[in-house]
Structure 1
Amino acid sequence: MPLIQDIERFLSSWKDACKETFTNHAIAELFKVDIGGRVKTFVHTKHPDFIVKASVGAGNWANVPWISMLNPRITTSTKDGVYPVYLFKADGSGFYLSLNQGTTNPKDKYGKFVSEKRSEVIVQHIRNEIPELIDWENVDYVQLNASTSLGKSYEKPNIAAKFYAFDNLPEEEELFNDLTELLYYYNRVEALSIFDSIDTKLSEVNDSNQLGFNTNNVDEPDNIGLSANFTHDIFIYKPFLLLAGISGTGKTRFVRKQAEATGSLADTYCLSSVRPDWHEPSDLLGYISRLNGTPQFVVTDVLFFIVKAWREIFSAKVKFEVSKNGQLEVIGDNKDLGLIRPYWLCLDEMNLAPVEQYFADYLSILETRSWSWRGGSFSYSSDPLLKSSTISQLGEDSTLREDLGLQGSTYDMAWEMFEQYGIGIPFNLIVAGTVNMDETTHGFSRKVIDRAISFDFGAFFPNSFDEFFSPTIQNKALSYPLQAQVSQLDLESTCDRNGEKSIVFLKAINESLESTPFELAYRALNELLLAVVCAQPQDDKSLIAVWDDFMMCKVLPRIEGDSDKLTTAGGEEILIKLKAVLQSQFASILNRSDRDLIQRPDLYREKIITDSNSEKTLNIPCRSISKLEWMQQRLVSATFTSFWP
């Protein structure tokens, strides 16, 4: 029977076969013997030393069947190296011929963070060295509809691929012509010698803030850990979010869904409803009670959750050291971070009470977080929220250890550290406050706004009634920051090397705010550059998307007042002046037919993929220009305006 007919029979029977016993199943034999055997015979006519393997499972059905072709001078295992492979979609809707990579061994050796970035570097380098692959492939990425982590692991490492749909299978001659061409490109990979160079650098680089490689020259170190995807899509540059919007838009649910993305909502999510009578930090973090004569610490749900996040860090087997200045530091490797999930604390209706009062301690300690990277290792420290001197007041009979969930020998070291150095902010904790602005709530000072990432929820995550039952857009999962300060080296892997473009942009913004209470300082510059590092823009359009969102999250939330406050001494209106600056800075991607319409990628949402030819990137108009127009209209109609909806 012709090969294409065997493939058609396999694809049409695959889903039903998976419901039946695997052992000696006819469809498994069809795949391994008939289809795999034909591919092996063809490959050996051209490359008799190649290792050809076909797998449809081992004891149980595989989620994604595959047929690999290995050049033994590159790799002898599908767990490492580069090789061509046929990947059959889990739903039987078609299959790919892909130049792909093995990820199991690199993940075991380097950890998830580094291995994913290593894979990205290999993809970029091979595509740069063999540009014909770009014209050869007929898809932008591999989408296998897999339901297992192993099945999904074949998608991101793809270097180039062609897709063959079940309802439009090619003639056998075309199939083998494509394979012949890919095998030719594959043989050129052998001469690149990229793997030894990369792995040597992974062992040798010691001086960068984070380990990595420049995709234009694998001999130059750049940034690796921060741009890796982890199990999330984007890192945030500040672990404190304000989600503002009208009631019912899904702000609290958004935080809950982010926690669900960690795989364990019960572990990584805490909802704390803010009470109007909260007026001091003890309402949030607990206090010492002496009602019974013996001092006892009253533990709040928030403090318990903070320690719970610390327990996650302890479980990753990181080390603790005392710095020269006597501060406790967490010491670990990139691979350790792959085991440490983000913990989401949702402060619901955060501004029902004055935030500057009950949240004062947290806001101050937030700015003491410090990260240091050397090679693949990191150190992290934070001043304590609950000081050791407070713990020492409780005496040996205190139940605090038990109340914090630290009982048992497993947490002996953790408790000893807390007793000596206090309890700081764990680096995997993200605090998200939901905010409604009405007559029952309090406003925010610039102290709060400057320490947060503020989201106009309706602008960043708008409700769409038309997509209530069949959504086409999904939110990206967020993860905790891995830096508090940026260095020039961190920006090397972006299109804004050294941060020069972003500095020019921020200078232009600051000139329009000169001599007003809204001027920006070093903190703003540091966080803008951190935002660039987190987003890893590779072109000007993506960089402008970072700037646009930074205006929305960090600059515009600080601006409020009446006509007098929002007019400069020279009579210029600040909002109109800012809009003009943005139109000038964003001119390179302005739509010629509408100077206010800027199509830029959405950094926080993406399209839901429905087929292999779909594009995940969601392009949207400029957010900040639209927001400025809304604020200006509000100023005209109400003689007062602010960012908050």
Structure 2
Amino acid sequence: MDTYNSFNADILSSFYKYLGPVNSLGGYERSYKLVFYKSYFESIKRGEITTTEHIATLFREYYINRIHQGKVPDLNVSRAVANPEESTVKDALDVILRNPFNVIQNKGFFKIEKQDGRECFQMVPKLAATITDAEIDKILDIVEQKLKLYYSSMDNGAKGKLREVIDKFLNGYVDAKKGAFTGSPFGTFVRSEIPNAIYNTGLVDPQNYLITGSVGQGNWATIPWICIFDRSITTTATKGVYIVYLLSKTGESLYLTFNQGCTDIKNAHGKQGAIKIMRERAAEIVARIDGRGFNTDEDIDLGQGLTDLGEMYQKGTIFYKEYKRGAVPSEAELQQDLSKMMDIYREYAGVKPKTVTDVTNGPKGEKDLSIKSDIEQIKKYIAAKGFSYNDGLIEDFYLSLKSKPFVILAGTSGTGKTRLVKLFAGAVGAYAKESGGNGRFKLVSVRPDWSDSTDLFGHTDLNGNYIPGAIIDFVKEAKENREYPYFLCLDEMNLSRVEYYLSDFLSLIETRTNVNGEIKTYKLTLDKAAEKDYPDLYIPENLYVIGTVNMDETTFPFSKKVLDRANTIEFSYVDLLPSFSSNAEAVAPLNKGNDFFKSQYLVLGTDVKPEQQELAKRVSADLQNINKVLQQANAHVGYRVRDEIVFFMLNNDTAKLLDYDTAFDYEIMQKILPRIQGSSEAIKNMICDLFKMFAGDYSGFSQSYIWKQMDDCINNKSCKYKNSAQKLCYMMRRFEEDGFTSYWL
């Protein structure tokens, strides 16, 4: 018993040590952990059940209360905390589970267990056995004092400290580098005090912008910086476009710049290729955005003997202004410069320049515009490579990938299906390893003899050695780098029966669920010999599988199992006229992170926000009307198809890429019509009734040459769903001429 009590006392002592003294914020970069403790222990004190949902509710309410008091929720945090009134309890729980709970759990103090069928946050038994009412009061007192200390600079910060921190940055960094890196107060100053001073000017809205300072990772940086990121564009200095203060190597000059991330571009194109791309992008931005008096030349000088990274900071600069040590301008001038640079950033993002207090649409409006501008950039990139696709196709392809990470591109040979996948991947920064790229794009040619999933994922040979399949290493690499999208192209995927060799993937894709903010599937079932090199392998959230298919006599047709699980985009139009007006190297890739593609919706009943429910009901009602017609020939769809069409339409509404009828027309073509084939009278009648619905108010047909009547209708009036009406006309022609019809050419 004494040993047991001693062990309990040890774990309590360890917890207090981890909690830390009241006058120290060591180990607390943000407020999350402290607010979690406050929410949890106050619930314990009140005798409440600490369900994950309840604690997340209290966690979210804490930040909402700060807003109502006219205070900033926190700085450099996720949108769910920076803008809690527009987030959900589920969003708050995702924040808790990612950080801080995963860290606290790994320390051995807390866990999640079910109580009365509900998941609850709980202390481990040995710690819980030592926590008396007095201990709870003591813990809460420590937490409250730490929160007060944490928020002191935010709540009491003056609006006139920008000059003070810039002057200190210029005068202090070179001397600070002579001391130890770990634990340096100057490092804390750059990472915390300077961002706080910038936020406190009121010029940078913390809900929409993230400010991060860096003096290096493990060692002092040659060129330290403070970045201002538009959260909808980037939150890392390795990619995207952002505002950054750059301190020269000697500490003589500080440059306020509008700049570009270079790491991803360099990885894909090498140093000289990246510099060329960045200078071309800078020239394009300078040509279309008013510089507001900032310099646009290449004369920024960060010093001699720079690293590659320091040199590329210089080459990536678009607009800049220099501040010299000993001659820092007034507070008013510094804030005016920052305000003008923020206007440039907003104009770049496609948002009309405005003051921070004039935020009418909030972050959602800026994000929507950013998605549209990103899609336009992707289209320009593809066009610059000499390829042209139908209007709306790129938008459709993007929405299909975001709605579900499995898309099929179908059509006749040579229409650019495989090329589209490669170009689209390249446009967002994913390249094949074989061509010297980052390995985030892979082309796999399907073989006619593939008969089961071992061809993709591997098998054990007679000697007991595991022989990897065609894609297993690519899947593993994607899992280990989930912040970036990975594109797998299965070329000519129907040379073999898809439902045979892709069966494991088709099953696993239906098990996707949100686990602590990550979308995961059930584990892949692999041979025991694979466990060492491929432990706990599943289909990661950042893997996007695109199959290309030629529908002819040499290939296998799709089963409904395959069609139900994918958006099937048909290629039929080819523009053979080349365009020589664009330089193929002139359009830089975007280097998008996985958030650009990650599915937002997995479960219709829980993932659709209240403000989206009316749209979801409208889509479901329109689909219900179509389904009644499909039932005539037993071709109706089920819940899976309904959900995926709704998700596609919700993603489109968020991004504002297509109007409702155009987007729904695409989904009819991709999820409904490919299921139709046959020679019965019921098929013929169903096609006629669907055409009447899709053509608008068309009333009826005579008994012969129905397809010609359909064609006349399409040519002489505006159809509600024109693409679908045209496809039905083609299908009716095949029926009347051949006695059989199907969707495929």
Task: State the TM-score, normalizing by the size of structure 2.
Answer: 0.46
The equivalences for 1:127-146 within 5 A come to 143-144=288-289
Task: For 2:461 and 2:726, locate their aligned partners in 1 and report how far apart those are by CA, in whole Å.
Answer: 51
1:287 aligns with 2:287: no
Structure 1 residues 108 and 479, CA gap change in structure 2 (3 angstroms): closer
1:464 matched to 2:582: no
CA distance in 2, matches of 1:626, 1:108: 38
Asked if the contact 2:679/2:741 (under 8 Å) is kept, the reply is yes
Return the match for 2:597 from 479, 482, 485: 479
Instruction: Give the drift of 1:80.
Output: 5.1
User: CA offsets, 1:217-267, max 9 Å, x none?
Assistant: x9xxx9999999799774431111111111111111111112212324031
Distance 1:471 1:522, change over 3 A: farther
Any idea what SS the aligned residue of 2:608 has? helix
Distance in 1 separating the partners of 2:405 and 2:662: 20
Amino acid of the structure 2 residue aligned with 1:353: S
User: Which letter does structure 1 place at the counterpart of 2:228?
Assistant: T
Q: Matches of 1:577 and 1:371 in 2, distance apart? A: 40
Which residue of structure 2 lines up, in the alignment, with residue 276 of structure 1? 448
Contact 1:454/1:553, CA 8 A, preserved across alignment: yes
Distance 2:694 2:546 in 1: 29
Q: Structure 2 CA distance, aligned partners of 1:351 and 1:519?
A: 24
Distance 1:543-1:428 versus aligned 2 partners, 3 A rule: same
Give the corresponding residue for 1:615.
Answer: none
Tell me: CA distance 1:539–1:583, structure 2 relative to 1, closer, same or farther (3 Å): farther
**Contact map agreement 1:289 1:297 (CA 8 A) in 2:** yes
User: What are the within-5 Å matches in structure 2 for residues 86-235 of structure 1?
Assistant: 104-105=228-229, 107=231, 111=235, 143-144=288-289, 153-160=345-352, 190=357, 234-235=398-399
- The whole-number CA distance in structure 1 between the counterparts of 2:235 and 2:605 is 24
Rounded to whole Å, the distance in 2 between the matches of 1:363 and 1:586 is: 39
2:317 and 2:743 map into 1 onto residues whose CA distance is 42
Q: 1:441 to 1:487 in 2, by over 3 A?
A: same
**C-alpha displacement at 1:541, in angstroms?**
7.2
Q: Which amino acid in 2 is paired with 1:519? A: H
RCO comparison, higher one (Cα < 8 Å, 6+): 1
Shift of 1:77: 7.7
Q: Deviations over 1:42-96 (max 9, x none)?
A: xxxxxxx9x99xxxxxxxxxxxxxxxxxxx99974876589xxxxxxxxxxxxxx
Change (3 A) 1:298 1:228: farther
State the distance in 2 between where 1:540 and 1:256 align. 22
Structure with bigger gyration radius: 2
**Any idea what the Cα deviations from partners look like across 1:7-54, whole Å, max 9, x if unmatched?**
xxxxxxxxxxxxxxxxxxxxxxxxxxxxxxxxxxxxxxxxxx9x99xx
Shift in CA distance, 428/489, structure 1 to aligned 2, threshold 3 Å: closer
How far is the alpha carbon of 1:144 from its aligned partner?
4.1
SS at the partner of 2:490?
strand
Cα gap change, 1:259/1:78 in structure 2, threshold over 3 Å: closer, same or farther?
same
Q: Distance in 2 between matches of 1:514 and 1:149?
A: 61
Amino acid corresponding to residue 726 of structure 2 in structure 1: S
2:511 aligned counterpart, secondary structure: coil
CA distance in 2, matches of 1:492, 1:355: 38
The reply to whether residue 257 of structure 1 matches residue 423 of structure 2 is: yes
Distance 1:540 1:394 in 2: 43
Q: What SS class does the counterpart of residue 249 from structure 1 fall into?
A: coil
1:108–1:193: structure 2 CA closer, same or farther, 3 Å change rule?
closer
Cα shift at 1:624: 1.4
CA contact (8 A) 1:535 1:546 kept: yes
Q: Which residue of 1 aligns with 2:466?
A: 297
Match of 1:451 among 541, 544, 565: 565
Structure 1 residue identity aligned to 2:557 = G
How far apart in 2 are the matches of 1:643 and 1:341?
A: 35
Structure 1 partner of 2:492: 349
Correspondence 1:577 to 2:716: no
**SS of corresponding position for 2:659:** helix
Query: Aligned residue pairs: how many?
Result: 395
1:244 equivalent in alignment to 2:244: no
Higher helix share: 2
**Amino acid in structure 2 at the alignment position of 1:483:** Y
Structure 2 residue corresponding to 1:597, chosen from 709, 718, 725: 718
Kindly state the Cα deviation for residue 288 of structure 1 after the two structures are TM-superposed.
1.2
Quote the offset at 1:484 in angstroms: 2.2
Which of 629, 647, 652 is the matching residue for 1:530?
647
- Taking structure 1 as reference, are residues 193 and 300 closer, same or farther at Cα in structure 2, changes over 3 Å only? closer
Match of 1:136 in 2: none
The structural deviation recorded for 1:498 is 4.8
Within the candidate set 510, 523, 543, 1:384 is matched to 523
In 2, Cα distance between equivalents of 1:193 and 1:482: 25
Q: Is residue 346–residue 432 contact of structure 1 (8 Å, CA) maintained in 2?
A: yes
SS in 2 for 1:423: coil
- Quickly say closer, same or farther: Cα 1:81–1:342, change in 2 above 3 A: closer
Partner amino acid, structure 1, of 2:471: V
Distance 1:551 1:105 in 2: 39
Structure whose residues are more often strand by fraction: 1
- State the one-letter code of the partner of 2:418: T
- 1:246-305 per-position Cα deviation (integer Å, ceiling 9, x unaligned): 111111111111221232403111111111111111112111112x3xx11110231111
Q: Assess if the C-alpha contact under 8 Å between 2:632 and 2:682 holds in 1.
A: no
Instruction: Measure, in 2, the Cα distance between the counterparts of 1:305 and 1:73.
Output: 42
The structure-2 alpha-carbon separation of the partners of 1:380 and 1:583, relative to structure 1 and needing over 3 Å to count, comes to same
Q: CA deviation at 1:516?
A: 2.5
The CA RMSD over aligned residues, in Å, is: 4.9
**Is 2:636 the counterpart of 1:636?**
no
The structure 2 residue matched to 1:499, chosen from 616, 622, 626, is 616
CA 1:224–1:447: 2 relative to 1, 3 Å: farther
In the alignment, structure 1 residue 366 sits paired with structure 2 residue 538: no
Provide the residue aligned with 1:310 in structure 2.
479
Q: Distance in 2 between matches of 1:507 and 1:501?
A: 10
8 Å Cα contact 1:226-1:533 kept in structure 2: no
User: Unpaired segments of 5 or more residues in structure 2?
Assistant: 1-159, 164-196, 208-225, 241-286, 291-295, 297-314, 320-343, 379-394, 434-438, 700-712
Cα distance in 2 for partners of 1:490, 1:345 equals 29
Is 1:509 matched with 2:626? yes
> Any idea what SS the aligned residue of 2:631 has?
coil
Partner amino acid, structure 2, of 1:160: K
CA distance in 2, matches of 1:159, 1:501: 30
Letter in 1 for 2:734: R
Could you list the per-position Cα deviations for residues 492-545 of structure 1 after superposition, in whole angstroms to 9, with x for gaps in the alignment? Answer: 566x73512112210110111124331011111111110012112688971112
**1:80–1:105 CA contact under 8 A, matched in 2:** no
Match of residue 544 from structure 1: 661
In structure 2, C-alpha distance between the alignment counterparts of 1:150 and 1:486, rounded to whole Å: 44
CA contact (8 A) 1:223 1:492 kept: no
